Amino acid sequence: MESEIKLKPRKKPRQKRSKETVSAILEATAHILQEEGYDKTSTNRVAKRAGVSIGSLYQYFPNKEALFTALFEQHHVEMLALLQETMVEMRDAPLPEAVRAYVHAMIEAHTHNPKLHRALMEQVMHLGIDYIQKLNATVCLMVEAYLESRPEPILPKNLKMASFVLVSAVESVAHTGLLYSDESFAMEELLDELCDLILRYLLGEQYECPPGSHKELVEGKAS
Amino acid sequence: MESEIKLKPRKKPRQKRSKETVSAILEATAHILQEEGYDKTSTNRVAKRAGVSIGSLYQYFPNKEALFTALFEQHHVEMLALLQETMVEMRDAPLPEAVRAYVHAMIEAHTHNPKLHRALMEQVMHLGIDYIQKLNATVCLMVEAYLESRPEPILPKNLKMASFVLVSAVESVAHTGLLYSDESFAMEELLDELCDLILRYLLGEQYECPPGSHKELVEGKAS
Amino acid sequence: MESEIKLKPRKKPRQKRSKETVSAILEATAHILQEEGYDKTSTNRVAKRAGVSIGSLYQYFPNKEALFTALFEQHHVEMLALLQETMVEMRDAPLPEAVRAYVHAMIEAHTHNPKLHRALMEQVMHLGIDYIQKLNATVCLMVEAYLESRPEPILPKNLKMASFVLVSAVESVAHTGLLYSDESFAMEELLDELCDLILRYLLGEQYECPPGSHKELVEGKAS
Amino acid sequence: MESEIKLKPRKKPRQKRSKETVSAILEATAHILQEEGYDKTSTNRVAKRAGVSIGSLYQYFPNKEALFTALFEQHHVEMLALLQETMVEMRDAPLPEAVRAYVHAMIEAHTHNPKLHRALMEQVMHLGIDYIQKLNATVCLMVEAYLESRPEPILPKNLKMASFVLVSAVESVAHTGLLYSDESFAMEELLDELCDLILRYLLGEQYECPPGSHKELVEGKAS
DNA sequence: AATGAATGAGACTTCATTCAT
DNA sequence: GATGAATGAAGTCTCATTCAT
């Protein structure tokens, strides 16, 4: 509770000048965080790099954590916008197309600024969990709503859970694939595979129509 | 390179007494990390709680980061053991059974010490990435080997990628589900759902035989 | 190279307040160094004695060594000023008078703050070698220039070397004499003796005119 | 008083094994001191490099300072031996020859292990002052005795002071010349010059016989 | 005699934060 | 509003030294 209060920016910058200052501070925070890591990201350095005095920094951010929280907020807003846009566009599209668009958007989102994304996730995730969870929940709801509204019949009965599984899986694969993959497989392939994963999950035998890609079963060696 | 060297324990404790010391230090580290967070986890506090002098701590760990790295190593060893055991046991089991056992093991692994697991992931993941990636890669290889050797024919052609997708998806769902779920769905359900996800992905229409669980498609509202 | 940079004061104090702070810090450093020695001269004690916070100390000095280096710089500036003044005054004086003035100045310089001088030389000389050498070189050049310009003919041909020998000799005698002498001979005598040393070296038989001081040779006992 | 007691080696090593240990420790001390400086010369490192346990080190040396004191003692013994030998050899030699031999020996002494010598002088001189002064005093006495006993008549009346001046001057020139000279003049020249300095000081017009070297006076420019 | 694990005081240094200007 | 000097608690880490084995 108290922390929530403490983490909110001290004041919303209403004038253009102030907005620029805040921008510069966040940009500096992001830069130092991704280049040097959390431990080296001191408020003094951030202020210096942002070209403002340390006093000014504390005028807009009540403490160090607020810097990262604000970064997460930005991230959250951008992600949400991107996914929302996609979902709206795909509202009436057939399921396979919608799924592909969704996965594509998710991958895009992770490609936007991978280094910062990674740094946030690896070093200060705990400061952004509220945003992350909120985002996750929102996306789940959006997916659930979509599934509910689509015309095709699907296999999973518990839509809430299905949404959760889908969103988590896609997010994770995109995340891991983009950040830690040894580049041994391309995005294109990953995209295809994720679509298969989801569509088979949702449609079962109904699926398997896309032009030939995986028509035949691969024989197991041991058979 | 150098950092990797720097993070390794200074010396392996050979005597019983020393092993206990190291154990106590790691236990204390884990405790403080999960109760108070990374920023509050100072080497002095760790030493104090472990009941050893700060000098002794530095005899076994060259710096603060090494503490967390060692924690990750432990975690890595335990996870690997658990999964390996499962994979071996299931070597000749039919695919659905094997999948369920694997997913179960994964969930177990995350249930073992969720608080610590969460703290490690949210606050110091960057210190354990090497271990995380190594673990991930190893598990992927194990899964790939299993898929290669099982008798049943499966849909995905690129086994390497299929393994990656499966491992990532399961890991993520387990992780997210356990840590952030509002307890609105039970583990049992999650387990079932993940099995469906995987088996449909692997077997397609070949699946859908398990006694009645999801036999009929759910009609979409909009239809 | 880098170390040289690292030893320079972090920022030049421009305001009066800051200058006083720096002054106080250096005064405290000098005091503790000479009373307690290098090992006992901790930055915390220095700050405390200077009446400033440890943080302020580090605002002006990047590390402990910089304190001593700064002390050497002061010393260097003072010495140089004193000697320069003397040399200028004596520019047109006859050689014996000039020599005496120079030696006198050198002794004065060592008498100024013998305890500090001694502590610097005995405990942290390595931190001031740059300044010491620079000072030495400058003084040598000044002496050389003087020798070059004086009207009297002198014996040594290599003026550069002669200057070096003279400067070193005088410096050392002054140093050793002042610091370690058991007071068994007075400064007055030492001054006379050094003048003799130098003037005989420079003038040979041309010298020996000063009223009676050493006119006759002392007979060796063994003769 | 107490310090003198504390600085003496705890026990004289009587057995061969012990002597080797002490030797190894001192060798290690010297090595680390000259390579890394006093601050980095920790007793633990010394012990490790000497190949003995830290416990053994403390069996032979009561504390860290004793290591350096012992180094000074070695140095003192060697220097004294070298100079004594020279003085004895030159007991009956004519003054110019004796002087040259003495200066030569002094230069030799400084050439023996310049790096260590320099490190001792620049970083821990205060731990060896007793030895340095004793050495100085002894050499002064030796020189004084020589001067007293030589057959030639000399100019200075106060032999004690003359000795002091000579010893200091030679030591200093040798020291400075060897350690900090930019190699712009050779030892040979320095030797000659020092001999001139001393002999003119001692003999005045009586000198100036050595083959032609400086027979004529150099005219001053301003004349 | 030798060992080296253990100790813990204390060194250096950073950095979030305040506040007088 | 802006500045940045000043603060000082607290952090990381070293190292001389001891002592049980």
Mean pLDDT of C164-183: 77
Cα-trace Rg, chain B: 21
Mean pLDDT of B11-23: 72
> Do residues A32 and A40 lie in contact, with contact meaning Cβ atoms separated by under 8 Å?
yes
> Domains plus CATH for chain C?
2-62 (1.10.10.60), 68-222 (1.10.357.10)
Interchain contact, B204 vs A206, CB within 8 Å? no
Q: Is B190 on the interface with A (CB under 8 A)?
A: yes
3 state DSSP class of B66: helix
> Do residues D97 and D55 lie in contact, with contact meaning Cβ atoms separated by under 8 Å?
no
3 state DSSP class of B154: strand
- Per-residue confidence (pLDDT) for residue A53, from 0 to 100: 95
pLDDT in tens, B74-87: 999 998 999 999 99
> Do residues C96 and C37 lie in contact, with contact meaning Cβ atoms separated by under 8 Å?
no
3-state helix, strand, coil in chain A (%, to 5): 75, 0, 25
pLDDT band at B182 (very low <50, low <70, confident <90, very high): low
Mean pLDDT of A82-93: 90
Q: Enumerate the residues of chain B whose CB falls inside 8 A of the CB of residue A191.
A: none
Q: Cα dist. D58→B102, D21, D54, D61 in Å?
A: 59, 12, 7, 5
Q: Which of D194, D217, D220 has its CA nearest to residue C155?
A: D217
pLDDT in tens, A17-28: 788 999 999 999
Q: Cα dist. A196→A93, A157, B100 in Å?
A: 17, 19, 20
Written as six digits, the tokens of D32 are: 């680390």
Query: D154 has which bridge partners?
Result: C218
Could you give the angle at which helices A125-149 and B159-180 cross, rounded to 10 degrees?
110
Written as six digits, the tokens of B19 are: 């092993």
Give percent of chain C with pLDDT exceeding 70. Answer: 83
Q: For residue A185, is pLDDT > 70? A: no
Q: For residue A156, is pLDDT > 60? A: yes
Written as six digits, the tokens of A185 are: 């497989």
Q: For residue C183, is pLDDT > 80? A: no
Which residues 186 to 205 of D reach strand E, CB within 7 A? none
Interface residue of D120, D148, D161, D191 to substitute, partner C, most C CBs within 10 Å: D161
Mean pLDDT of A8-16: 59
Q: How far is C72 from chain D (nearest CA, A)?
A: 14
Interchain contact, B189 vs A157, CB within 8 Å? no
Q: For residue B138, is pLDDT > 60? A: yes
Contact partners of B by the rule of 3+ C-beta pairs under 8 A? A
Q: How far is C148 from chain D (nearest CA, A)?
A: 6
Q: Enumerate the residues of chain C whose CB falls inside 8 A of the CB of residue D41.
A: none
Burial class of residue C62 (count of CB atoms within 10 Å of its CB; 0-12, 13-18, 19+): middle
Residue C56: DSSP 8-state: H
Q: For residue D154, is pLDDT > 80? A: yes
Q: How far is D24 from chain C (nearest CA, A)?
A: 25
pLDDT in tens, C89-113: 998 888 999 999 999 998 888 888 8
Q: For residue A50, is pLDDT > 60? A: yes
Interchain contact, D217 vs C206, CB within 8 Å? yes
Q: Report chain A's terminal Cα–Cα distance, integer Å.
A: 60
- Per-residue confidence (pLDDT) for residue D72, from 0 to 100: 95
Mean pLDDT of C21-33: 93
Range list of H helices, A51-94: 54-60, 64-89
Backbone angles phi, psi at B218, to 5 degrees: -90, 125
DSSP assignment of D11-31: S---SHHHHHHHHHHHHHHHH
pLDDT in tens, B190-201: 888 889 999 999
Q: Report chain D's terminal Cα–Cα distance, integer Å.
A: 60
- Per-residue confidence (pLDDT) for residue D220, from 0 to 100: 52
C220 — alpha (psi -120 to 50), left (phi > 0) or beta? beta
- Per-residue confidence (pLDDT) for residue A125, from 0 to 100: 94
- Per-residue confidence (pLDDT) for residue D50, from 0 to 100: 95
Could you give the angle at which helices B114-123 and B125-149 cross, rounded to 10 degrees?
110
Mean pLDDT of D156-167: 87
Q: Which nucleotides of E are covered by protein (CB under 7 A)?
A: 1-20
